[in-house]
Amino acid sequence: MKNALPDRTGWLIEPLASLPAEPPFPELTDFEHQALRDIAELFESGANDFLSQVAFARVVDRVNTSVGFYTRVAVDRALCRPLPINRKGAHFEVAGLSLGLGIVLWDDGGYLRTIEGYTCEDSPLEGRALASLTYRRLVQLG
């Protein structure tokens, strides 16, 4: 079925679980790629291992919440090493968002599972395709 939602059991709850899936699939957006490259610095000696997870990740679901987003990925565990990923993140300047966009990462057994984006503005992503987000720069590591 073309408009069927992915299985979000254990990942999102209502009303987020009923939001439409946001393309592109199975690729990360340009913004996600650039933000994850910057976040890799937080892993210090494990930065290359983290970037390997990113390289072998495929997007299985993405939701635009209008004040942020959730991107769920599946990492090929046979090709990567596990790392402590939970709650690593950073804040980024994004074109058209006066307060920027924060990213927090969540893992599943040491493998990237969810990229959570959040804003402090009132619905700046409403009606905006996540693939159109334009990365400007890293604001701070956190």
Does 88 reside within a domain? Answer: yes
Does 27 reside within a domain? Answer: yes
Q: Are 59 and 71 in contact (CB under 8 A)?
A: yes
Does 7 reside within a domain? Answer: no
Q: Which tens digit of pLDDT belongs to each residue from 9-40?
A: 999 999 999 999 999 999 999 999 999 999 99
Its domain, for residue 101, covers: 20-141
Does 35 reside within a domain? Answer: yes
Q: What is the pLDDT of residue 3?
A: 61
Does 40 reside within a domain? Answer: yes
- Assign 5 a pLDDT band (cuts: 50, 70, 90): confident
When divided into structural domains, the chain yields a total of 1
| Rounded average pLDDT over 95-101 | 94
Does 95 reside within a domain? Answer: yes
Does 6 reside within a domain? Answer: no
List of long-range contacts for 15-23, beta carbons under 8 Å, 24+ apart: 16/63, 16/65, 16/70, 19/63, 19/64, 19/65, 20/63, 21/61, 21/62, 21/63, 22/62, 22/63, 22/64, 22/69, 22/129, 22/130, 22/131, 23/62, 23/129, 23/131
Q: Which tens digit of pLDDT belongs to each residue from 63-75?
A: 999 999 999 999 9
Does 83 reside within a domain? Answer: yes
| Rounded average pLDDT over 113-136 | 95
Q: Which amino acid is at 75?
A: V
Report the mean per-residue pLDDT for the chain: 94
Enter the pTM of the model.
Answer: 0.93
| Rounded average pLDDT over 98-118 | 96
Q: What is the pLDDT of residue 142?
A: 46
- Assign 140 a pLDDT band (cuts: 50, 70, 90): low
